[in-house]
Structure 1
Amino acid sequence: MQQNNEQKPELKPTVIWKCRDASCKAWVREDFATGTYPPCPICQGETIRSYKHLPAVAIKKTRKSKKVSP
């Protein structure tokens, strides 16, 4: 038996938006959603807010560049 030294990432409850259509399996993290009630990223249908246990993702915030005055 082979040992796997890789650790599994810690899962955290994460807010997601998932497609209302049961045949469509698309979902998106709330942090990456576009707008308050985002459309389904695949079929463009309605989405509902839900939760999934997912690995944490570091979200990089963009900084505004400083303007140098002459």
Structure 2
Amino acid sequence: MVLAFGRKNDEEIKLEETKIWVCNSENCKCWVRDNFKSNDVPHCPICKSEMSQTTKELQVIHNHSKNFM
């Protein structure tokens, strides 16, 4: 038996290679999209460790906030 709540989203989910920042701490799994970072070289918002830049295949999300540009 399959129950469905609501309509299926007909819009295709667009994925693309996205720049992200990952926490360097072994005990933390936090990561932040590059277009949502708060500084040029961000620190982890969870544990405050340094972060390194890398890429990940993610759903496209645009940040329109002037605070992060």
TM-score of the aligned structures, taking structure 2 as reference length: 0.72
Matched, 1:15 2:23: no
Does structure 1 conserve the Cα–Cα contact (< 8 Å) formed by 2:36 and 2:63? no
Q: Give the corresponding residue for 2:34.
A: 30
Q: Tell me the C-alpha RMSD between the 2 structures.
A: 2.3
Distance 1:14 1:43, change over 3 A: same
Q: Which has the larger helix fraction?
A: 2
Q: How does 1:51-66 map to 2 (within 5 A)?
A: 51-62=55-66
Aligned length in residues: 62
TM-score normalised by length of structure 1: 0.71
